[in-house]
Structure 1
Amino acid sequence: MATAADPSDSRGFRDALGRFATGVTIVTTLDGAGRPVGLTANSFNSVSLDPPMVLWSLARRSLNLPVFLEAGHFAVNVLAADQRALSDRFARPAGDRFAGVDWEAGTAGVPVLPGTVASFECATDSSIEGGDHVIFLGRVARFRHADREPLIYHAGRYGTPAARG
């Protein structure tokens, strides 16, 4: 049975949000010196078909926030089920997350990862303050997709789709 809770219960709120299964992405861009930057995010969603737009959000406390705020482009790489190690790598603090990682230059040179379920290369349309996060809206300049099994995150664990209807 579900229980109601006060929104000020941040742990309970986080647990409730975790019940929504999401895909796992790595969002990438280039810093001011042209070096690749990326991080794991599951806060990705479609916004509009006309024009094609997507959004994702980043915590204000992220050390990568200034890079994404300055960047004019980003790519959202939707990970496949066999890319969990890549998700883990980009979720942890590291000096160079791209060391030894294959990628190709997409729109405006942003890194696009091979073997993903989908990727969306975007021009940054705007960023919006949203509580303890910043929401990035992007106009999709190019996308690609493949018929692969996605990596899913639910209730604090990775998974894959169990059944199809």
Structure 2
Amino acid sequence: MHSADGTKPPSPAADGRRFREVLGNFPTSVVAITAGGPGERPEGMIVGSFTSVSLDPPLVAFLADRSSSTFPRIRAAGRYCVNALAADQEAVCRAMATKGADRFAGLDWRPSPLGNPVLDGVVAWVDCVIEDVLVLGDHHLVVGRVHDLRVESAKTPLLFFRGGYGDYFSPTAMVLDRLVGW
């Protein structure tokens, strides 16, 4: 719909609850962003906003909440590894998302070529050097230049959808009780 002068009127602002409710219908992959490694305290955080950006040069990106206490340490490292969690790694996801805890307690990992933690059991990993960080609203857009990457297993990835975790082969794991009546 256009106004008389041919311009589009601004869309009504969505409140936070409605925004989350609608966008929760877009499944997102769950990845652990890790940094540090041998001789350094490993750092890690969970994000649901990882994407490829460019093939030439190879760039990827993720979004980090500006209120994150972990992201400044990852940014200071200047490098990170994206670990695509497998569908059977919900417990790893929850451990890596716990504030104030040792997020690596009980987790097995090995250093990536850049020295970042690669978590055991992941689907794939992408090792990056931070290329750029932009502030967009309440998040940082973190662009990384890909240094190395590898597929680790044929497992299905962990997804977040409509407030629950699961994979695309077992929809019953995705909190179907919220769909009753839809």
How far, CA to CA, are the matches of 2:99 and 2:71 in structure 1? Answer: 14
How far, CA to CA, are the matches of 1:162 and 1:83 in structure 2? Answer: 15
Q: For structure 2, list consecutive stretches of 5 or more residues without a partner in the other structure.
A: 1-10, 171-182
Does 1 or 2 have the higher relative contact order (CA < 8 Å, sep 6+)?
1
Counterpart position of 1:40: 46
How far, CA to CA, are the matches of 2:132 and 2:74 in structure 1? Answer: 11
Which residue identity is paired with 1:25? V
CA contact (8 A) 2:81 2:117 kept: yes
Counterpart position of 1:76: 82
Which residue identity is paired with 1:123? V
Q: Choose the corresponding residue for 1:127, options 125, 133, 157.
A: 133
The runs of 4+ residues in structure 1 deviating greater than 3 Å are: none
Alignment partner of 1:87: what SS?
helix
CA contact (8 A) 2:79 2:129 kept: yes
Establish whether residue 51 from structure 1 lines up as the match of residue 50 from structure 2.
no
TM-score normalised to the size of structure 2? Answer: 0.81
Q: Choose the corresponding residue for 1:155, options 162, 169, 174.
A: 162
Counterpart position of 1:104: 110
Give the 5 Å matches for 1:128-143.
Answer: 128-143=134-149
Alignment partner of 2:104: what SS?
coil
CA contact (8 A) 1:29 1:36 kept: yes
Which residue identity is paired with 1:117? V
CA contact (8 A) 2:97 2:103 kept: no
Counterpart position of 2:98: 92
Aligned residues: percent identity? 41
Which residue identity is paired with 1:77? N
Alignment partner of 1:20: what SS?
coil
How far, CA to CA, are the matches of 1:140 and 1:81 in structure 2? Answer: 24
TM-score normalised to the size of structure 1? Answer: 0.89
CA contact (8 A) 2:133 2:142 kept: yes
